[in-house]
A and B are shown apart, each in its own frame.
Chain A
Amino acid sequence: MKATKENIQFIDTYLENSDVVYIDIRYEMIDHIATGVEEMMEKNNIDFYNAFKDYMVVHKKAILKNNKSRYNYSWDTIKQFLFFLVKPYQLTIALLLFVFYKSVDFNSYFNKDFTVNNLFFLLFISIALFQIGYFDFYLKKKFYSIESSVVIINVIYWFKIFFLPIFGRKNVSEVTLTIFSYLIIGYVIYFIQQLRKFNQKQFQLTQ
């Protein structure tokens, strides 16, 4: 006995109402539950709704654990980004940035009205606005595989608050400039890579 399209829709709605907000996580949970329920339907010769009820009594807690909305802040995502940053071609970018800041008097382009800190803040805002637009207005649905990257830019932002002089009273060193430019450029490249992977998966999903 196989679950019908209506049965699958029922599981999807149930999970959505249980706070499993990410569609890609939900797809997997739907298949997992539907397979278990189908087995139960055959084994006990019962209809879908009774089998679903029996299955969820036993498995609900385990299914929802780690698969709900809070799932997106993970140390693994940050670790993955750190590994990405130490790849040889990424380190070459860091070296080039350092050479650039050493040879150009970057601080002379800024004053108290528009500090280096303001520039980085603008960059963060631009990235954040792009992501909000992409997630909320272009995709209109939540996907864990792409939204999990947001945690990285949040961490870089908090890191910036502690290391960049807020009021522009003193010049920012080449090392600090290199580190933050590198983190932001690295994040943009990383995010583009994640977007490409995500779009390939999306293509598979629509096949």
Chain B
Amino acid sequence: MKNSQLYKGSLTTIVMKLLEENGRMYGYEITQKVKEITKGELKITEGALYPALHKLEAEGVLEVEIENVDNRLRKYYKLTEKGTSETINRLAELEEFIRNMQSIVNPKLT
């Protein structure tokens, strides 16, 4: 992930936001979507994404559906009811963080 230290803490929120918008997604699709939205600026690595997805699944934030696609199994992730409300909270937290950072980095704009 580019600038990994800055983005690291926001990875799960990014994933949850994408799932909120797209319903259900699989791992590769998530990495490509992030790349597409950020025009290649932000690349989520496999080593960071899957442990994060498994953690969210274990916490009951995500649930999975497994399907047989093109000779292999594909694991789709989607938000649970708990996950949907958790996403709202985390996005609010992230927005507040961005606002605070904006005030510090560029006070003239606030």
Q: Which residues of A contact B (CB under 8 A)?
A: 2-5, 7-8, 25, 27-32, 34-36, 38, 59, 61-67, 71, 76-77, 80, 144, 201, 204-205, 207
Contacts and interface: CB of A to CB of B under 8 A. Distances in A.
Interface residues of B, number: 24
Contacts of B58: 76-77, 80
B71 A27 contact: no
Given A28-B27, A62-B47, A34 B75 contact: no
B21 interface: no
19 contacts: A2-B70, A3-B70, A7-B71, A25-B50, A27-B72, A27-B73, A27-B75, A30-B72, A30-B73, A38-B70, A65-B45, A65-B46, A66-B47, A67-B51, A76-B55, A80-B59, A201-B64, A201-B66, A207-B66
Contacts of B71: 2-5, 7-8
Contacts of B73: 27, 30-31, 205
Closest 4 A/B residue pairs (Cβ): A65-B47, A62-B45, A35-B28, A204-B66
